[in-house]
A and B are shown apart, each in its own frame.
Chain A
Amino acid sequence: MSQPTTTSAPPRPAAGGAATASAAGTAAPSYDLERVRADFPLLAQTIHGRPLIYLDNAASSQKPRAVLEAIAGCYRDYYANVGRGVHRLAQQATTARERARETVRAFVGAASAEEIVFVSGTTEAINLVAHSYGRGRHSGLAAGDEVLVTAMEHHSNLVPWQLLCEDRGASLRVVPIDRRGELDLAALRRLLSPRTRIVAVAHVSNVLGTINPVAEIADLVHRRGAVLVVDGAQAAPHLTVDVAMLGCDFYAFSGHKVYGPSGIGALYGRAELLAAMPPWQGGGGMIEQVRFEGTTYAPPPQRFEAGTPNIEGAIGLAAALDYLTTLGLNAVAVWEGRLLQRAAERLGAIPGVQLVGSARERAGLLSFLVDGVHPHDVGTVLDGLGIAVRAGHHCAQPLMERFGVPATARASLALYNTVEEMDALARGIEKVREVFA
């Protein structure tokens, strides 16, 4: 007997009220979409003669004018190297960068700005933890220790741990996910052992959109005496992040996905952990006393920030976070939840379209397959219609294997996307099916 074709259930919005389909055509009164879109100059362009529909936000999102102006203002008005000058401009630039650190602190709910390390992005943040915490005199891994990752991790939250495990003779173990794309918490409980030292998990999956229950995971991890490292790259643009409530030990995110510049990101680390960690890169700015006989190091966060940093990046990131918090992450989550629901309904109704991942709690994106059409060809046809999506393995090859596909197409949302764009995406996919019929 043949089984009926299964389509994924539409996801629930990440937070706030779900909109009904009939109300999805109009913006919530509290959310001034037109004004939001006007804040992003890049959006007002045409691609191949059609209005740009930008749905590759999980890769990089576009920047509001406030960010562009913050970066330009830094270079135009008060640019100098930070932390090492007595002159006026050096002081201004240093103050602005430290103010940005305070903005990041508030954004993630850290207790102290000293718990915020500026990095180039999530990848560098995780490598920092793997190098420094993972190889520290007190915290470092020994042979036989274990690191747990999940089956849905981006390569950046997998490969640094593989490198660490190889280096220390430790083992990497993988927490499986179920068919919906939810983490198997029972398996996590079983895999946690007295040998588990580090657990690394994405807050939100970059392929499935799954929101992982970080607070619950943190509780399990801490009961075993391990530390929890959270890759927040896909969560920071969509969810309110509060490291105190999440209870994680490290939290990493990137500027360029959260409407800020590329080349900047932040690592939150619990103060007592950072304090005990050795430097991972040497250079200017991270020292206390340098002598040929031996060097002592600055306290965190400077200990982990060797060399001239990305000054304008930190300032641009703070402008982006200010923009996001002024708009309100709750309002953003409600709006994006409506878009996601609309897109899931429209795509789910197209014959031959399969949504990959149907976790009950999701945010930000939809991965999908069009029967008989390679995701790259889906991407190229949509591009011809002015629609930018991502096609490929999304730096998550083990996850692609888990779902038995070489690649997926992914439409990922931002606070400036519209309901009409979701409908255009659906029409675009219908066009894909026509071309390859």
Chain B
Amino acid sequence: MAELSDLYQDVILEHSKRPRNYRTLEAANRKAEGFNPLCGDHFTVYLEIGDGQIRDISFQGSGCAISKASASMMTQALKGKSTEEAEELFQKFHHVVTGKNGTESHDDLGKLEAFAGVSEYPVRVKCATLAWHALRAALQGEQHAVSTE
């Protein structure tokens, strides 16, 4: 069995306790909600996009340690990135948490690599990707809430 500490890595616990960019964004020109009807987790992701770049990003809501830390670290990773890079990172992150990367290195994921342990817990994949799905909906300009179900 995977050790619990593989899932609850220090960096994840730390971000879940002190989430970064945890606020509404006055200047946001995109936002989307992510909702997991199975557990009631609920996040709103705010984006300020200009010239194809994520100038600012923030989130608010409630969820478990995994979903909150994932949202927090996502906002850190994406600030200043282009929308294409954000989409690319979404794909890479998804591969990591679903274990599709195999032995491939995920160096370019940086701190987000801490979520590799999630792949051992299939029911928690939705927690790890909740805010990312909201991000994608916001990037695509969808108005309605996205659901992981």
Give A residues with C-beta under 8 Å from B: 48-49, 372-377, 380-381, 384, 391-393, 397, 400, 406-407, 435-436
| Distance A377 CA – B8 CA, assembled complex (angstroms) | 9
Known: A391-B39, A392-B40. A374 touches B4 (CB 8 A): no
A397 touches B1 (CB 8 A): no
A376 pairs with B127, CB closer than 8 A: yes
Could you show 9 A-B contacts with beta carbons less than 8 Å apart?
A372-B17, A373-B65, A374-B68, A375-B39, A380-B7, A381-B4, A391-B39, A397-B40, A406-B63
Given contacts A376-B64, A406-B39, A435-B8, 13 further A-B contacts (CB under 8 A): A374-B63, A374-B64, A376-B127, A384-B1, A384-B4, A391-B39, A393-B39, A400-B40, A406-B40, A406-B41, A407-B39, A435-B13, A436-B65
Q: Any chain A CB within 8 A of the CB of B106? A: no
Question: What residues on B are CB-neighbors of A49 within 8 Å?
Answer: 1
Question: Is B40 within 8 A of A393, CB to CB?
Answer: yes
Q: Which residues of A contact B39 (CB under 8 A)?
A: 375-376, 391-393, 406-407
Q: Is the CB of A407 within 8 A of B40?
A: yes
Contacts of A380 in B (CB 8 A): 4, 7, 121, 124
In the complex, chain B residues 77-106 whose Cβ is within 8 Å of any chain A Cβ: none
Please determine whether A435 and B40 come into contact, CB atoms closer than 8 angstroms.
no
Specify which chain A residues have a CB less than 8 angstroms from the CB of B64 in the assembled complex: 374-377
Q: Are A435 and B4 in contact (CB under 8 A)?
A: yes
Bound-state CA distance A435–B6 (Å) is 12
Nearest chain B residue, comparing its CB with the CB of A407:
B40
A380 to B6, CA, bound (A): 12
User: Are B7 and A406 neighbours in the complex by a CB distance under 8 Å?
Assistant: no
Report the bound CA distance from A373 to B17 in whole Å.
9
Instruction: Tell me how far the C-beta of A122 lies from the nearest C-beta in chain B, rounded to whole angstroms.
Output: 20
Q: A393 vs B39: C-alpha distance in the bound complex, in angstroms?
A: 6
Among B4, B7, B13, B68, residue most surrounded by chain A Cβ atoms (within 10 Å) = B4
- Taken together as a complex, chains A and B put the C-alpha atoms of A392 and B1 apart, in Å, by 24
Q: List B contacts of A397 (CB < 8 A).
A: 40
Distance between A145 CB and nearest chain B CB, rounded to angstroms: 30
B29 interface residue per 8 A CB criterion: no
Contact A377 B66 (CB under 8 A): yes
Residues of B within 8 A of A407 (CB): 39-40
Identify which of A380, A391, A397, A407 gathers the most chain B CB atoms within 10 Å of its CB: A380
B12 CB to nearest A CB, Å: 10
Shortest C-beta distance, B35 to chain A (Å), equals 11
**A393 partner residues in chain B, CB cutoff 8 A:** 39-40
Instruction: Please provide the chain B residues from 122 to 148 with a CB less than 8 Å away from any CB of chain A in the complex.
Output: 124, 127
B54-66 to A contact mask, C-beta < 8 Å, 1/0: 0000000011111
Instruction: State the CA gap A192–B38 with chains docked (Å).
Output: 33
Q: Which residues of A are found within 8 Å of B7, using beta-carbon distances?
A: 380
Query: Distance in Å from the Cβ of A220 to the closest Cβ of chain B?
Result: 33
Chain A residues contacting B13 (CB-CB under 8 Å) are 435-436
Residues of A within 8 A of B66 (CB): 376-377
Convert B1-18 into 0s and 1s, putting 1 for each residue whose CB lies closer than 8 angstroms to a CB of A.
101100110000100010
Q: Are B121 and A406 in contact (CB under 8 A)?
A: no
Compute how far the CA of A374 lies from the CA of B13 in the bound complex, rounded to whole angstroms. 12
Q: Nearest chain-B residue to A49 (Cβ)?
A: B1
| B42 at interface by CB-CB < 8 Å | yes
In the bound assembly, the distance between CA atoms of A272 and B63 in angstroms comes to: 49
State how many angstroms separate the Cβ of A50 from the closest Cβ of chain B.
Answer: 9
- Within 8 Å CB of A400, what residues of B? 40
